[in-house]
Amino acid sequence: MTTKSALHIARATYQPKLPKALLGSVKVKEGEATKSVADQEEIKALFPNTYGMPLIQLVEGEQKNYPAFNVGVILSGGQAPGGHNVISGIFDGIKKLNKDSKLYGFLMGPSGLIDHHYMELTAELIDDYRNTGGFDMIGSGRTKLETEEQFEKGLQIIRELGIKAIVIIGGDDSNTNACVLAEYYAAKKYGVQVVGCPKTIDGDLKNNMIETSFGFDTATKTYSEVIGNIERDCNSARKYWHFIKLMGRSASHIALECALQVQPNVCLISEEIQEKNMTLDDVVTYIANIVAARAAEGNNFGTVLIPEGLIEFIPAVKRLISELNDFLAKNGEEFATIERNKQREYIISKLSKENAEIYASLPEEVARQLSLDRDPHGNVQVSLIETEKLLSNMVATKLAAWKKEGKFVGKFAAQHHFFGYEGRCAAPSNFDADYCYALGYTAAQLIAEGKTGYMASVRNLTAPAAEWVAGGIPITAMMNMERRNGKMKPVIQKALVELDGAPFKAFAAQRETWAKETAYIYPGPIQYFGPSEVCDQPTKTLQYEQAK
């Protein structure tokens, strides 16, 4: 560890809260059998050994003796605040069941399992990382677990270390991989369990059993603090429009939650833009109208929140990207041989007429960004597309035209920001510290009860932690079939912003007022110590969803 800050030292003494049912002896209460959210026959055929399992709730039970068992843990995908507390919860959970149980961390993500890079996680090491942000205890990575060769290589070290179960802490793709691994080991009757934990700051891994993914609370509070600082600066200088892009690969949950916390003048919601079939020009006109209306009142300043994945939700651009994804999946090698200055022309010649026209109309840099290397899942790397600059430039062009026509009388100057990495490794809020610890504790209990192919679940999250409900949901229950790298594959279905949901409705009811008035809220930094109403509140999203 590096030298500890005063906050780090103080936070080490914080004892995360647990659901009452996990404090003593526990038993499993099985609920109804499950089925996948869609494509039931296809998912069942792919996962015959882990499909249709029941929902699980952990309830208070009688004292039982558990034999010692060893567990391996993997941090997979992008960082999210609270990962260390999941590991701490697993460690404390298995030690409570039997003090001779051991926890091994596989280093730098799933590749650590395949390449046999690991370390035993001792009490001394765990204590150094309690309630801290980041994934630096064991590191993370994006290697996909998908081949029999990988599964068998992983099994070698699992057998060598006497590991009973692997816990994969990750998002939708990582937990899809966890399900594939669980199915393989179950089919082979290897006796190795696999349990997942729901991680992603994007907030798009959720359903009735997974009310929120861990890290979302801390990340959105971190972003909201900085946006609030910008709003205050904006309201002080009164001469800039700040275009702020926020992380969130697909869904707009982060942008929506931040908007509910800081009340910006404009917040774009990708799902609404798609629903209304808006064009890029429609989006630009919407922003420009608000800029012009505020300028007419003498307010030549404001804030605009933009979801990272916005460009993919504009229907015409989405169709273009879909064709580009398929084309590049099949012709990537040939495309790589084309000279850079001829790539645009080459792509235009290969696309359908409609998509070729849209691609040709895009600014050179944006068009290029759409054709850059894909991420490991075959998707456009939307974080590389500077949507905030694209929109502000197009708004400036439109306002200049309006000025010539006498429709705009103000001034327009823009500043640009992208908040992403700033929130992924923040010290977890009390909510995330508690939630993550409870998820780890739940995973330990699921393992002890012999479960595999499950994701740890902790619900009732707007109530005090003692009233939280711990359990598990079969990962197959969250899956559907989607096109990835040109092929249909089973994946966990992403949860997008629901336009008929309470959080969006609360936002939509207020946004016209926020557009006209300067109604900014300045949340300030995350509070770790103090009154519960300041320190322990869940996100606005959860509060609206559960009407509390």
- The CA distances from residue 144 to 112, 332, 359, in Å, are 12, 20, 31
Q: pTM for the full model?
A: 0.94
pLDDT at residue number 317: 87
User: Which residues are marked as active site?
Assistant: 202
Task: Give 214's strand partners.
Answer: 199
H or E element at residue 148: helix 148-160
- The C-alpha angle 525, 531, 536, rounded to 5 degrees, equals 65
Question: Mapping DSSP to helix (H, G, I), strand (E, B) and coil, where does residue 226 land?
Answer: helix
Report how far Cα 357 is from the mean position of its chain's Cα atoms.
33
**What does the alpha-carbon distance between residue 453 and residue 474 come to, in Å, rounded to a whole number?**
6
List, run by run, the mean pLDDT of 10-residue segments along the chain (548 residues): 86 97 96 97 98 98 95 97 98 98 98 98 97 98 95 98 98 96 98 98 96 98 98 98 94 98 98 95 96 97 96 90 86 86 90 92 80 67 82 94 94 97 97 98 98 98 97 98 88 97 98 98 96 94 92
Contact 224, 482 (CB under 8 A): no
Nearest to 473 by CA among 1, 33, 25: 33
Reading the block at residue 245, the tokens are: 């892009």
**What does the alpha-carbon distance between residue 17 and residue 368 come to, in Å, rounded to a whole number?**
49
**What does the alpha-carbon distance between residue 145 and residue 529 come to, in Å, rounded to a whole number?**
40
Contact 144, 376 (CB under 8 A): yes
Over residues 248-260, the pLDDT tens digits come to 888 999 999 999 9
Domains of the chain with bracketed CATH: 18-215+428-484 (3.40.50.450), 220-308+386-422+497-548 (3.40.50.460), 315-384 (1.10.10.480)
pLDDT at residue number 2: 64
pLDDT at residue number 376: 62
Strand order of the β-sheet with 54-60 is 26-33, 54-60, 469-474, 454-459, 193-198, 163-170, 70-75, 102-106, 118-120
Contact 131, 428 (CB under 8 A): yes
521 C-beta neighbours (distance < 10 Å), count: 15
**What does the alpha-carbon distance between residue 422 and residue 85 come to, in Å, rounded to a whole number?**
19
236 C-beta neighbours (distance < 10 Å), count: 9
Nearest to 117 by CA among 90, 86, 157, 147: 157
Contact 520, 264 (CB under 8 A): yes
